[in-house]
A and B are shown apart, each in its own frame.
Chain A
Amino acid sequence: MNNNPQSAIRNPQSDLLSVEIAGIRFNNPVLTASGTCGYGLDMAELIDLNKLGGVCTKGLSTRPLGGNAPWRIVETHGGMLNAIGLQNIGARAFVEEKLPELRRYDTRIIPNVFGYTVEEYIEAIEILEDGEGIDGYELNISCPNVKAGGESFANDARQAAEVTAAVKRAARRPVIVKLSPNVTDIAVIARSVEDAGADALSLINTAVGMSIDINTRRPRLANVTGGLSGPAIKPIAVRCVFQAFRAVKIPLMGIGGIATVEDALEFIIAGALAIQVGTANFYDPSASMKIIDGLADYCRRNGLENIGALVGTVELNH
């Protein structure tokens, strides 16, 4: 979009921060994470979407979903548990009602997609394939596979690969697979999904957690368990990115408690080529904007021509 060398001088941030992942060119490596920015437009009054590298939408399914009964969220130390229940307007409504406005912004649009069977993933992807302005898909594979005993796709290397391969056959756009931390060995799942054709990985989804009210002795969430997010899970996420970086060749997007530029840099040094800001959008809506500026400053201070030079440079020799 920017072929004028003069403008690169005026806006050197674009050179410092632009990254390519799975053939998608991002103006910078900072996206908002699925489930924490609605359909992107919901943040348009508080941040400049044109400045954002990309938007991962709220998880979309073939049909609209109503979500779980309240209570759906509870704050914990350094984070929060949520059990929203994947409430969403459905892939068709996204394409028809949200996408036309969202694609007016200069940001990459990555719909997050989920299903409870492989067929549901395919059906949702097929609906989204009609949408103009979509740059790629992010697969949430943390849902239970109801046709295979209800175990999460993400917890089983074979099922994770199966859904990845099926979606890759159906999608003409790049596919980013979002991994769950609730697994024995994330490197095994990462390799399996890479072998199945994933173009990139994003990690991590929330860590399953629980909180109990000691007075009523009832779980604080109506769903009993929920997904833990926020700064509390950041070290787990950094470790997962570090392990996945050593396991696969495809690019990684780091997610998990990123709220500041220092957090983002930690993920990049661990191996992420891009990062997603999640829970921080709730309590600091402009966190992603500050991180973008902070990354450019870091590049300038450290003489980096592009942020990509920092990826996976963690120093293990003392």
Chain B
Amino acid sequence: MPGTIDTLATVECNDLIESVSTRSYGQLRLRLDRQIPVLPGQFAMIKPHGHYEPLLRRAMAYYRCGLGKKSLSVDFIYQILGRGTQMLAKLKAGDEVDFLGSLGNTFYIEAAHRHEALLVAGGVGSAALFMLAEELVRCKIPTKLFIGGAGRGDLCGLGDFISLLSSDQVISATMDGSYGEKGFVTVPFEKHLQSRRGEPMIIYACGPDPMLHRVSQIADQFAVPAQLSLESPMACGFGICVGCAVAVKAESPVGFIYKKVCTDGPVFWSNELHW
């Protein structure tokens, strides 16, 4: 994990995102007084400094980053779910945060050259795809985003994605029909693959496990390579707790071995995974 540092970061801003659904989200910007590599798909382990509860830092995917003269700012979007994210939601500008990063691997962007890149995001999973989308655009790779959630308020980062990719390259789906198509985001995604059958495409996805599983099935069906960014509970983020096990196909008596989401991932090829 070259480039990993354990340091204090300072909160620049922490905005709670209004949501019409029952879920709430926050967008946190941290400033580091030094610069470290920040790659699409990577994450950091963070928690408010000086707090005993919660005990463990929380793994958060980088949403975007910005370079200052000597500093670095990184943004995270988090869904307020349990004690850890409730504590994050209380952070105010100027507060200190324990920061361990950058952690994990990155998306394999080289594979997208001369392909159409299809991004599939579910809920807060979209956060892990924004820097990837920026990089794909920078590399002039045609990029389309399929973004889904329970309702309009769960399409995290939608405005940023539309600004980056333009609205006709962002296809939305919500379970309550409040925005875009009604239903699962994998439905318009599958339709698109059907309409482009045989053309060179590559898939990058992040979201809830059932969505990733469906994306993986569709990728298989159309023989399109797919990279999935996984989420898992983890205590450390740098490979020592072995809590974030994911079954990966391998020659073994059971047909798989456990790899670590934190250091072997979080990005895996979908055909590696033993669902």
Contact = CB atoms under 8 A, between A and B. Distances in A.
Interface of A: 36-38, 42-43, 45-46, 58, 66-75, 77-80, 82, 84, 87, 230-231, 279, 281-286
Contact of B243 (A37, A46, A84): A84
B232 A45 contact: no
A286 B100 CA distance: 11
Nearest to A70: B245
Given A72-B245, A231-B55, 8 more contacts: A43-B240, A66-B254, A80-B56, A82-B243, A84-B243, A87-B242, A231-B52, A283-B57
A71 B233 contact: yes
B245 A67 contact: yes
B55 A72 contact: no
Contacts of B240: 36-38, 42-43, 281-282
Contact of A73 (B235, B238, B247, B252): B235
A107 to B, nearest CB: 16
Contacts of A82: 235, 241, 243
Interface of B: 1-2, 4, 6, 47, 52-57, 83-84, 98, 100, 232-236, 238-247, 252, 254, 257-258
Contacts of B235: 73, 75, 80, 82, 279, 282-283
A279 B254 CA distance: 30
Given A80-B55, A231-B52, A42 B238 contact: yes
Given A42-B238, A67-B242, A72-B242, A283 B4 contact: no
15 contacts: A38-B239, A45-B2, A58-B242, A68-B245, A72-B233, A73-B241, A78-B53, A87-B258, A279-B235, A281-B240, A282-B56, A282-B236, A282-B240, A285-B6, A285-B238
B235 to A, nearest CB: 4
Contact of A66 (B6, B98, B241, B252): B252
Given A66-B254, A84-B243, A283-B56, A73 B234 contact: yes
Contacts of B246: 70
